[in-house]
Structure 1
Amino acid sequence: MTAHISALDLEEAGAVLAAESARFAAFGWMRGTSGNLSVVLTRDPLRLAVTASGHDKGELKPADVVLVDGKGAAVHGGRPSAEAELHARVAALTGAGAVVHVHTVASVAMGHRHPGGIVFKDVEMLKGVGQPAHDVEVTLPVIANSQDMKVLGDRLEAAREPRMPAVVVAGHGLYVWGDTPRQARHHTEVVEWLLELELTRR
């Protein structure tokens, strides 16, 4: 495979991503074959396991992942998600160990309503992304969509709010990250909860 990553390493990462994908699919956040997840396997050189393209995310098997490099290009396995390049960009930019991309109604609706960013304040759930529950405003950035992952990555880098481990891509969905797949999952659930709250308030 590579000098640092064995077939067993990739299979173990695939098992983790399959379990996480099944959880998100059960919430209705990865309908059809939409969405993708990744986990960093090595940092130098940057290598990620990314869910393979075209698979039902509620039915993934440990083998349904692709090893990609720091540009999102396949190193081993089948065809990665078209957005693998953005996963690699987020991992390099933020130091994240895992990235989640889901297509939720709340993220698309709120991104449409607030193209300049979605502000959260005085909500206890902000603690779930490491922020105070009161007296601090935290903005979830919203960026315009693009089919060019280099362009999209540049927009994400320019808009990123270091206190918020997430960004909304307008008309598309939500990208969230964390140090581990478990933390990325928790961040995703918290940010989606915040979005759903703001959506119901209006």
Structure 2
Amino acid sequence: MDSGTDVDSGLDSGLAEAGAVLAAEAARFASFGWMRGTSGNLSVVVSRDPVRLAVTASGLDKGELTAADVVLTDAEGSAVGAGRPSAEAALHARVVRLTGAGAVVHVHTVASVAMGRRRPEGIEFRDLEMLKGLGHKTHEVAVVLPVIENSQDMAELADRLEAALRPGMPAVVVAGHGLYVWGDDPRQARHHAEVVEWLLELALAG
């Protein structure tokens, strides 16, 4: 068996495992009400060399995904082989390249859309214990969650996200759209999403 076949076999195995993980994560987010209808998408890095991501397939109910409902994409978010990934796959791929993340979450929450409208300049959080959930060692910090203008052009949206990235905040709000969050792996990405959404709900209630 040649090395190319070995790589393909490894990717196939990794894609199946990633699919199972993303299906479970998607079901959990759907249960929160953060992936209504067919909205939202998730990804996880399957390989770093070459860069390959498993991205949830387009147009499916995220509460009913199976391990087969993912598509392998390259470093630009284009499909490698069969299937059609989420339209935002290119943005997931850019986040991975920019941050070194191992997983990306995109959800549509009421709080992210509402606060994006209220604070288009960005949403500051300070002196909150929950900020430790984003990796800060103390609550005595101030961090800003960036808000960027939406676009149907994923390259343009990715450029806006790149320009808006802030240290200590693994997330970005897309105005009128939703929330992108990332982490080292799907579990950490989910934890970050839960923390950021809690912060947004607190700000919305204030």
Pairwise TM-score range, normalised by the shorter structure: over 0.9
Letter in 2 for 1:77: A
1:180 aligned residue: 185
Structure 2 matches for 1:93-172, cutoff 5 A?
A: 93-172=98-177
TM-score (norm 2): 0.95
Query: Contact 1:100–1:188 (CA<8 Å) still a contact in 2?
Result: yes
Structure 2, unaligned runs of 5 or more: none
Q: Distance in 2 between matches of 1:194 and 1:175?
A: 14
Structure 2 matches for 1:1-202, cutoff 5 A?
A: 3-4=7-8, 5-201=10-206
Query: Contact 1:66–1:78 (CA<8 Å) still a contact in 2?
Result: yes
How far 1:9 moved relative to its partner?
1.6
Task: Look up the SS of the partner of 1:74 in the other structure.
Answer: coil
Structure 1, unaligned runs of 5 or more: none
Query: Contact 1:176–1:184 (CA<8 Å) still a contact in 2?
Result: yes
Q: What per-residue deviation string (whole Å, max 9, x for no partner) do you get for residues 98-123 of structure 1?
A: 00000000000000000000000011
Of 11-20 and 74-83, the range deviating more from structure 2: 74-83
How far 1:75 moved relative to its partner?
0.1
Letter in 1 for 2:157: L
Q: Distance in 2 between matches of 1:11 and 1:94?
A: 25
Query: Considering only aligned residues, what root-mean-square deviation do their CA atoms show, in Å?
Result: 1.2
Task: Look up the SS of the partner of 1:127 in the other structure.
Answer: helix
Q: Distance in 1 between matches of 2:154 and 2:29?
A: 23
Task: Look up the SS of the partner of 2:80 in the other structure.
Answer: strand
Query: Contact 2:132–2:139 (CA<8 Å) still a contact in 1?
Result: no
Query: Contact 1:125–1:133 (CA<8 Å) still a contact in 2?
Result: no
TM-score (norm 1): 0.96
Q: Structure 1 133/80 Cα, relative in aligned 2: closer, same or farther at 3 Å?
A: same
Task: Look up the SS of the partner of 1:29 in the other structure.
Answer: coil
How far 1:8 moved relative to its partner?
2.2
Runs of 4+ in 1 over 2 A off after TM superposition: 1-8, 132-135
Query: Contact 2:126–2:140 (CA<8 Å) still a contact in 1?
Result: yes
